Amino acid sequence: DVPSQDVVEVVVSPPFVFPPQVKSLLRSDFGVAAQNCWVRKGGAFSGEISC
C-alpha cells in the first residue's frame, strides 16, 4: 500500500562548523545532520572531528 500523500524527509548536512546556523535558517520540519566527534584521547578515529 502506497500512502495517498507524498511524504518526504529533508535532511541537510552542512560543514561541521555550521549546523547551528543552518538549523536556525531552516523550517522546523527539516533535519540537520552533522559529523560525529569523539571526546577521548587516543585511538584511530580516522575521519572523525576533533572536539
What is the model's pLDDT at position 6? 77
- The CA–CA distances, whole Å, from 6 to 2, 3, 9, 11, 16 equal 9, 7, 10, 16, 30
The answer on pLDDT for 28 being more than 60 is yes
Its pTM surpasses 0.75: no
Comparison of pLDDT for 6 and 45, the residue scoring more: 6
Residue 29 clears pLDDT 80, i.e. is over it: yes
